[in-house]
Amino acid sequence: MKGSKKLKRKKPNGETYCYSEGSIAFPDQLDAPARTMLTSESTTNRSSHIIGVDEEKDVYRTLTPVEAERIQMFPDNWTNIESKAMTERRRYFMMGNALVVGIVERLGKYLEKIVEAED
């Protein structure tokens, strides 16, 4: 699933084109920035983060919900607070749907300066 691919496809008007996707590192490189997380994180698909092998269970290891929160710069267990009562699958979905907190904070500070300069 992580390899590159090129597929011939057809538009509704009958015109053909080539759809392509590049390969994805397998397993994910832990010394590089994380790839974009999608709402389908933790399911078996091309975009899921595989970060190594769980040696005890002899299976590929995916991100934990806390690791997903850390990639998006949320506090640990932010999606696991009792009042939120989220399933593990929903926790992954929320992180795949989130913006990276640090980026939003930087944009907010920049926008605040613009607004202050207008006054």
49 in any annotated domain: yes
39 in any annotated domain: yes
93 in any annotated domain: yes
The string of pLDDT tens digits covering residues 60-112 is 999 999 999 999 999 999 998 776 778 999 999 999 999 999 999 999 999 99
1 in any annotated domain: no
3 in any annotated domain: no
20 in any annotated domain: no
99 in any annotated domain: yes
Q: Could you list the residue range(s) of the whole structural domain that residue 59 is in?
A: 26-118
Number of folded domains that form the chain? 1
Three-class SS state of 5: strand
110 in any annotated domain: yes
- CA atoms of 113 and 23, how far apart (whole Å): 41
CATH number of the CATH domain containing 95:
3.90.120
The string of pLDDT tens digits covering residues 21-40 is 999 999 999 999 999 999 99
